[in-house]
Amino acid sequence: MTQRIYNSMSERVEEFTPLEPGRVGMYTCGPTVHDRAQIGNLRTFLAEDLLRRQLEYQGLEVTQVMNITDVDDKIITKARAAGQSLEEFTAPYVAAFFRDLELLAVEPAAVYPRATQYIPQMLQLVQRLLDNGSAYVSEGSVYFRISSFPAYGKLTHLDTAGLRSGASGRVDADEYEAKEQVRDFALWKAGEPGDLASWPSPYGWGRPGWHLECSAMSMDRLGETFDIHCGGVDNKFPHHENEIAQSEAATGKQFVRYWVHAEHLLVGGVKMAKSLGNFITLETLMEHGHDPMAVRFLLLTGAHYRHKLQFQEELLEAAERDVSRLATFWRRCLESEGLPGESDELVGLATTGLERFDRAMEDDLRLPDAVAALFDLVREGNRLMDAGRVGVDGARAALAALAAADRRLGVIERRALRADFLSPEEKALLERREAARRARDFALSDQLRDQLLGMGIQVEDTKAGTRWRRA
RNA sequence: GGCGACUUAGCCAAGUGGUAAGGCAGCGGUCUGCAAAACCGCGAUCCCGGGUUCGAUUCCCGGAGUCGCCUCCA
């Protein structure tokens, strides 16, 4: 019943034991709000949601912190171009981000601190680093002196001395002139007074370097050593490596105990990214008629979180069928309450099904495997129900197992219970069809059924009577 | 150039030293007035070549291909 999780630092699956029994501190790198999140970003947040839900399922009390980066070069450039303040420019993207999370049933973090609210804490951290010789001031900026931190590179296992600076072709060499060494990174960037992103500091006006905020916020909210730090794989280097350096150099303590990284979402074989122009947002998918629960299901179960996931919009159709199948079975269990049936093979199947699900989840969140157990349960449950061999106990047990799984999966109940109501016109159509069908006027009955389907209502005739659902 | 990951049926994708989950799609049935939902049946020499082993898809070596990171990145 203990959780196992892959730790990027050790490069192996480890047993998870929190620093403080029963409580977990979890920091998750959040969005930089210069644009709408694309679904590759969302995949990472969903993986983090899955981990958090799993830990809570195991009875742990999780304090999750997710930062919002509301000051960085892109934001500054765009805000300046729009003639807006940082706050004005980022507000709509912050709102859109929270809306996406809510649509995807992501459980809210305890706090969402923003970089612009943490300037004092960041400056304190900079001062500590200057005081102990880990940093230096140069031309109004402050840089971290990597040569002072021998463990640098321990997360990504890179030999930074041999790094080919600029190998990615993304860096302008001029940027390095003020540094002692090319690999040193900025803690504080010199700026101009009165600029839309400039704060006073002992080193002059300026703004924080990107890595600094995560160290300042995480240690402020979770302590100088905390349990879990998550993010996308592309944040391992340099972001997380730099966080480790500046945090551990400042405190002399281990910064993070377990590093958890989610893999990329690929499209057409390559990483989905804003800069590549191959990105897609949740909003777009919804405009295409896709259900957010299908998006959640696909991003979470389409592949294990540490594996790349090939996104194709057609896969969402399959995901929709999957979610619908689970939700249909859920409702069928609800409706089975009170049926006589025989007791009750389904009770045992529900138990073993959930055990299989839990076992897979405990082993580094192997959700794709866990879901297979769920589908086995659904198939068996349907089979037994078709045969009239399910009673109250079985239905309840199956429902309980599904609910337990859904505490992690997070799609079944939401889909099963989603607002289902009929407009007066729809209701009238349904009643007319009922009357026609009773009169065995199948031509009219079928025509009305087609009409309803065109309106998104699937009509089903069962032994127990006619029912309907939103297709 | 350095480091790392991946390669399993039409598609997505689990997994194991003893001949391979699940889903979607497809085909054939059952049920239904017809559908829908559901159920039953049908599909894989696990990238290639060596090696270790009684036995490898699973471990080791080599090769091919794809992808990621190497200071914007989830």
A74 touches strand B (CB under 7 A): yes
Q: Which CATH architecture has domain A14-262?
A: 3-Layer(aba) Sandwich (3.40)
A206 touches strand B (CB under 7 A): no
A269 touches strand B (CB under 7 A): yes
A34 touches strand B (CB under 7 A): no
pLDDT of residue A167: 47
Q: Residue-wise pLDDT tens for chain A (471 aa)?
A: 689 999 999 988 999 999 999 999 999 999 999 999 999 999 999 999 999 999 999 999 999 999 999 999 999 999 999 999 999 999 999 999 999 999 999 999 999 999 999 999 999 999 999 999 999 999 999 999 999 999 999 998 876 555 444 444 444 444 556 788 888 999 999 999 989 999 999 999 999 999 999 999 999 999 999 999 999 999 999 999 999 999 999 999 999 999 999 999 999 889 999 888 899 999 999 999 999 999 999 999 999 999 999 999 999 999 999 999 999 999 999 988 766 766 689 999 999 999 999 999 999 999 999 999 999 999 999 999 999 899 999 999 999 999 999 999 999 999 998 756 788 888 999 999 999 999 999 999 999 999 998 888 889 998 778 888 887
DSSP state of A266: E
Beta-carbon neighbour count of residue A310 at 10 Å?
Answer: 13
Q: Shortest CA–C1' contact from A315: which nucleotide?
A: B12
A168 touches strand B (CB under 7 A): yes
A271 touches strand B (CB under 7 A): yes
pLDDT of residue A466: 87
CA A126 → CA A121, A145, A371, distances in Å? 9, 12, 46
Q: Shortest CA–C1' contact from A261: which nucleotide?
A: B74
Decide: helix, strand or coil at residue A234. Answer: helix
> For strand B, which nucleotides have at least one atom less than 7 Å from a protein CB?
1-6, 11-15, 21-25, 32-40, 66-74
Pairing of strands A135-138, A141-144: antiparallel
Q: Shortest CA–C1' contact from A237: which nucleotide?
A: B69
Beta-carbon neighbour count of residue A395 at 10 Å?
Answer: 26
Q: Tell me, what's the ipTM? A: 0.96
Decide: helix, strand or coil at residue A275. Answer: helix
**What length is written for chain A?**
471
Pick the CATH number of A282-416 from 2.60.120.10, 3.40.50.20, 3.90.550.10, 1.10.730.10: 1.10.730.10
Q: Token match 């309840």: residue?
A: A396
DSSP notation for A290-334: --HHHHHHHHHHSS-TTS-EEE-HHHHHHHHHHHHHHHHHHHHHH
Residues 430-449 (A) near nucleic chain B, CB < 7 A:
437, 442, 445-446, 449
A29 touches strand B (CB under 7 A): yes
Q: pTM of this prediction?
A: 0.95
Residue A431 CB contacts under 8 Å (≥ 6 apart), including other chains: none
Give the closest residue to A390 by CA, choosing from A318, A319, A353, A342: A342
Ordered by start, the domain boundaries in chain A are 14-262, 282-416, 424-470
- Asked if A262 and A306 count as a contact pair (C-beta separation under 8 A), the reply is yes
Burial of A151 (0-12, 13-18, 19+ CB in 10 A): exposed
pLDDT of residue A342: 65
A176 touches strand B (CB under 7 A): no
A77 touches strand B (CB under 7 A): no
